[in-house]
Amino acid sequence: MGGSCFVGILFLILLQFLDSCSGLPLCTDSRAPFIPSSHLQFCPYNGTSCCNDTDDLSIKKQFESMNISDPGCASLLKSILCARCDQFSAELFRVDSGAVPVLCNSTVSAHSTQSNEATNDYCSQVWSTCQNVSILNSPFAASLQGRAGAPRNSNSTKLTDLWQSQTDFCNAVDGTSNDGAACFTGAPVTLNSTGTPSPLSGMCLEKIPNGSYLNMAGHPDGSNRAFFSNQQGKFGWQLGAR
């Protein structure tokens, strides 16, 4: 009976919030965000974060190795590197597929769960500020090798040596093709407020294997079994009442 109750109620809950599942906080290693035990010294993510002090120090060293002389460009690159600490970093980096997050351009989908500040054309800002600035060990070149819109010259240190125009650059690094997904604005991701959901009067729960599960669907054979999927695209199943 316990398993049947769990499947039925959890299925109804997930149906209610299905459209917002892409906005769940999740780190690039598919783990849940956490509150760091000590204050991060470099990246400004001291609430719920995906970085500890070791990660923070590693990002600082990576930033320093770039030897960026222009203060404005340096500030933008610091924000981009620190985006890995964002509690929505799995969505910003499309799990762990690149060295840089997808950058917002001036158009954000009407279906996006991200706040209106995502209409900030951050991609154009990065291009206009950094296009002629030398960036050693550029994360853009490392991230986009072998992709559509990849750089012409991976040994170069300037964006203008890697891409012919702002359009080429933004086509390679913006996230408009992924409808409704979060993109990076230069600041921690914030989502649109959807109001406070009505509290449940009760809930039956049964522990399933540990993991960051996003979706659940009941088996159509009426056996009270359920299928689960995680952000990495893996599926599992859970037995119903026995």
Q: Which two tokens stand for residue 60?
A: 């600082």
DSSP letter at 143? H
Distance of CA 124 to the CA centre of its chain: 20
- Domain range list for the chain: 2-20+203-238, 24-173
**Rounded distance between C-alpha atoms, residue 216 and residue 5, angstroms:** 14
Alpha carbon distances (Å) from 16 to 56, 137, 220, 229: 37, 45, 19, 17
Query: What pLDDT shows up at residue 242?
Result: 43
**In terms of Cα–Cα distance, which of 238, 168, 183, 175 is closest to 210?**
238
Query: What pLDDT shows up at residue 237?
Result: 55
Query: What pLDDT shows up at residue 200?
Result: 59
* pLDDT one digit per residue (tens) for the chain, 242 residues: 444 444 444 444 444 444 444 457 899 988 899 999 899 999 999 889 999 999 999 999 999 999 999 999 999 999 999 999 999 999 898 765 678 999 998 655 544 555 455 557 899 999 999 999 999 989 988 655 555 445 555 556 899 988 889 988 888 887 554 556 788 999 898 876 555 556 656 666 666 666 677 777 776 776 667 777 776 666 555 555 44
Query: What pLDDT shows up at residue 238?
Result: 56
CB atoms within 10 A of CB 117: 14
